[in-house]
């Protein structure tokens, strides 16, 4: 489907906090409003293809990972409560990738279900964007080291739940931070993220295309992703009572997005 977009999360999440094939609203925190198709009566199961990529430091040095380094720098600054200038060193035992093997086929399966359509309609009525999670990247036992501009003297270690920072409600993720001062104006900071944690989500956007049932025939509605809307505002007669929900690439390049790296 052309170039795939990847969104960098606001903070690393445990594997069980996400699910391939889910529909989500928030690219930086997929837990904020989502629809899990695996709970549908038909119990569909996504075909997942896991693979090892390469060392994290090598990934960050690549052209397409510039935004990733900037995002992780901001994350480290929030955690260590200082102004990190850049990463001197990024290490990880392994970077893994989990991909939804056939996103188009999966989408055709779930979009034909009434529960999926109702969730999409509610999202549209509330002005929410909808994305299909087609993959994610994880870090294993990552160690992130930065240089920082600060006048703090001395050294120390902190071990805190990430729920205490960056607005993350997940207190199960413990991150260990360590600071060692080199001078009155700069010091080294290290953030350790234990276990396997998701740091980026791969997705396709769902674009809404309203239409009028009076202007189409029955063959037009044969497509899985077109239907007559079930949820309407009381007393309102909409000219376009049909909805087409199409998978598209999202070219809204924000600070949290980049192309596949």
Q: How many domains does the chain have?
A: 1
Write down how long the chain is.
Answer: 261
Cβ atoms of 245 and 111 within 8 Å: the answer is yes
The answer for residues whose C-beta is within 8 angstroms of residue 23's C-beta and 6 or more apart is: 34, 35, 37, 110, 116, 119, 120, 130, 131, 132, 133, 206
Give the pLDDT confidence score for residue 162 in this predicted structure: 42
Cβ atoms of 140 and 96 within 8 Å: the answer is yes
Residue 244, H or E segment? strand 242-248
Give the pLDDT confidence score for residue 182 in this predicted structure: 46
Q: Which of 132, 144, 116, 151 is nearest to 230 (CA)?
A: 116
The strand pairing partners of 139, in sequence order, are 95, 197
Give the pLDDT confidence score for residue 57 in this predicted structure: 61
Give the pLDDT confidence score for residue 199 in this predicted structure: 82
Tokens 């606001």 correspond to 10
Q: What is the pLDDT of residues 65-108, one digit of tens each?
A: 555 556 666 655 655 555 555 555 556 567 888 999 989 999 99
Cβ atoms of 222 and 38 within 8 Å: the answer is no
Give the pLDDT confidence score for residue 94 in this predicted structure: 75
Give the pLDDT confidence score for residue 137 in this predicted structure: 87
Residues of the chain with pLDDT under 70: 1-5, 53-93, 144-191, 193, 233-238, 250-261
Q: What span, in angstroms and rounded, lies between the C-alpha atoms of 260 and 99? A: 12
Q: What is the pLDDT of residues 6-19, one digit of tens each?
A: 777 877 788 888 89
Exposure on the CB side of residue 40, measured as CA atoms within 13 A: 23
List the domain range (segments joined by +) for residue 85: 5-259
């Amino acid at each position: 489907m052309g170039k795939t977009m990847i969104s960098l999360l606001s903070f690393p999440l445990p594997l069980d906090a996400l699910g391939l094939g889910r529909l989500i609203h928030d690219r930086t925190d997929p837990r904020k409003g989502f629809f899990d198709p695996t709970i549908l009566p038909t119990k569909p199961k996504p075909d997942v293809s896991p693979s090892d990529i390469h060392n994290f430091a090598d990934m960050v040095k690549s052209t397409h990972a510039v935004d990733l380094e900037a995002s992780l720098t901001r994350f480290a600054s929030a955690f260590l409560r200082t102004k990190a200038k850049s990463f001197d060193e990024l290490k990880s035992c392994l970077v893994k990738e989990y991909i939804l093997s056939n996103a188009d086929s999966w989408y055709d399966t779930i979009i034909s279900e009434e529960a999926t359509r109702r969730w999409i309609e509610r999202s549209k009525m509330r002005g929410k964007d909808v994305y299909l999670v087609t993959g994610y990247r994880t870090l294993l036992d990552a160690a992130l080291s930065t240089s920082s501009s600060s006048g703090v003297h001395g050294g120390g270690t902190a071990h805190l739940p990430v729920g205490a920072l960056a607005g993350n409600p997940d207190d199960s993720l413990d991150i260990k931070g360590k600071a060692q001062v080199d001078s009155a104006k700069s010091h080294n900071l290290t953030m350790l993220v234990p276990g396997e944690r998701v740091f980026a989500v791969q997705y396709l956007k769902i674009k809404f295309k309203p239409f009028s049932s009076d202007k189409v025939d029955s063959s037009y509605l044969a497509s899985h992703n077109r239907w007559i809307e079930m949820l309407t505002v009381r007393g309102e007669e909409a000219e376009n009572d049909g909805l087409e929900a199409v998978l598209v690439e999202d070219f809204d390049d924000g600070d949290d997005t980049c192309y596949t790296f």
